[in-house]
Structure 1
Amino acid sequence: MELMRCLFLHRSIHCKLCLFSILVFCQTGLSFGQIHPCESPTPSIINIDSDTDRDTAACDIDTNTVSSKTAPEEKVKMSSSLAIVPYDESSLPLFHKPVREFHIGRQKIVVKQNWKELGVAAVVWDAAAVLCEYLDQNQHLVDGRTIIELGAGSGIVGIIAAYLGGRVTITEREVAMGYLNSVVHDNIDVDKYNVSVTTLDWTSDLTEFPKPFQVILGADVIYIEETFDDLVKTFRHLSDEKTVIFISCKVRYERDSKFLEMMQKYFELKKVFNDKSRGILIYKAVKR
């Protein structure tokens, strides 16, 4: 180990990366392009896993792992200071790709992602894609109903709900409104379909939304524990006993289960869909 440290001190950065690569390959059997550190918002040294959740993207070092695509179950703890620079764009993680295309039913949705400027709010996560597919297969859940999407990010879920006949309000924080508006207007004719975009901050006054909605949609909205109380409050304010809430998420940590327990104080909660390949669950909630 002393010899290794000396080598690292006296070599260039390029040599450091090469030496580190050799060490990891020997210890784990991973192939080049399968190693990733904690995500950085700058793409010069980046995470190159193809399906990384929000917490890894936000540099949650305690849960940062390396995954082999040939052996998904094998995970190796990594330091956030180590990285491999990818050599081709195909190795970029999905949330770093500038443009992604989705085919949901008969609709083609093209999303220009903006991870560098807005981070998690300006990319499409698996939970959103799975919820879109679920709604497309169950159009009766949204057709003709008043709908609000919370923490919309790109707004892809609300867009699909509008295409399926819903009267949709797509919401996000003020900081992401420019991006959200651009994605919505690029993908749906707001004059033809009943869809609007507006600001909603869960921590702020909700009186401008006086009436309950028939359907509330939320995809990957339960990843920050500090927002849980406000999110539950928002769900309660926007709903009545006839409202149906659909929450699409990955239950990754104890805090995620804690949120579901908080919801059960006020709502009947039922798991209605499980996408095992992407690790996404969809819960249905109805007010008690």
Structure 2
Amino acid sequence: MYVWPCAVVLAQYLWFHRRSLPGRAVVEIGAGVSLPGVLAAKCGAKVTLTDNSELPHCLTVCQQSCQMNNLPQVQVVGLTWGHVSPSLLALPPQDIILASDVFFEPEDFEDILTTVYFLMEKNPKVQLWSTYQVRSADWSLEALLYKWDMKCVHIPLESFGADKEEIAESALPGRHTVEMLIISSAKGSLLHL
């Protein structure tokens, strides 16, 4: 399985904050191979992995990651961004939402933030920890964050030991600038680590 640079950077951020993870409720959306979620579980968080309910193969990949890492306690749930489904309704309040490179297609941005907003309604202090690969200077979340009453803080990769030069040297074609954001409800306060 290939692990994308964004997942590696998000995992590095989790590792940097590993002492604050035990007992925290964490959900990873668009989990794929689930590196950040698996690491959070290994660090003692109560983790739920989610991926598109309309693509069973994605859920199988999440389950395989749990099996390979001996994590039978991690739940894998089908969740389609922007849909209020029984699976979304059943999720308990979360402390942290992980999202590695989910801001890939601009037409998905609002569906992602709609799902995040729903989770923020259950716990106004929840934060979305997200890494993404910069693909176009024209793509922005700013208007959608304002619409959904959210705020965003950019986290410099150097602040937790991630190396931008190493990421840029990956085997992927094109530009590899990876950024990290923490998104929270404009009403909520920042999670103290």
TM-score, normalising length from structure 2? Answer: 0.77
Instruction: Call closer, same or farther: CA 1:179–1:284 in 2, change over 3 Å.
Output: same
Instruction: Report deviation, 1:254.
Output: 3.2
The amino acid across from 2:60 in the alignment is G
Structure 2 partner of 1:69: none
Structure 1 partner of 2:170: none
Instruction: Report deviation, 1:207.
Output: 4.5
Structure 2 partner of 1:249: 132
Give per-residue Cα distances to partners, 1:9-45, cap 9 Å, x unaligned: xxxxxxxxxxxxxxxxxxxxxxxxxxxxxxxxxxxxx
Instruction: Call closer, same or farther: CA 1:273–1:177 in 2, change over 3 Å.
Output: same
CA contact under 8 A between 1:147 and 1:216: conserved in structure 2? Answer: yes
Instruction: Call closer, same or farther: CA 1:142–1:226 in 2, change over 3 Å.
Output: same
Instruction: Call closer, same or farther: CA 1:141–1:259 in 2, change over 3 Å.
Output: farther
Structure 2 partner of 1:179: 61
CA distance in 1, matches of 2:96, 2:117: 12
Gaps of 5+ in 2: 168-176, 187-193
CA distance in 1, matches of 2:83, 2:93: 17
Instruction: Call closer, same or farther: CA 1:180–1:166 in 2, change over 3 Å.
Output: same
Structure 1 partner of 2:111: 230
Residues 1:170 and 2:49 aligned together: yes
CA distance in 2, matches of 1:252, 1:197: 29
Query: What does residue range 189-268 of structure 1 map to in structure 2 within 5 Å?
Result: 189-190=71-72, 194-210=73-89, 211-239=92-120, 240-256=123-139, 258-265=140-147, 266-268=149-151
CA distance in 1, matches of 2:41, 2:67: 13
Higher mean C-alpha deviation, range 137-146 or range 222-231: 137-146
Query: What does residue range 96-175 of structure 1 map to in structure 2 within 5 Å?
Result: 113=1, 123-174=2-53, 175=55
Number of aligned pairs? 163
- The one of 168, 175, 181 equivalent to 1:283 is 181
| RMSD of aligned alpha carbons | 1.8
Gaps of 5+ in 1: 1-112, 114-122
Partner SS state of residue 156, structure 2: strand
Structure 1 partner of 2:172: none
CA distance in 2, matches of 1:260, 1:151: 21
CA distance in 2, matches of 1:189, 1:124: 19
Partner SS state of residue 152, structure 1: coil
CA contact under 8 A between 1:151 and 1:219: conserved in structure 2? Answer: yes
CA distance in 2, matches of 1:142, 1:267: 23
Higher mean C-alpha deviation, range 229-238 or range 262-271: 262-271
CA distance in 2, matches of 1:172, 1:253: 25
Query: What does residue range 40-51 of structure 1 map to in structure 2 within 5 Å?
Result: none
TM-score, normalising length from structure 1? Answer: 0.53
Partner SS state of residue 141, structure 2: helix
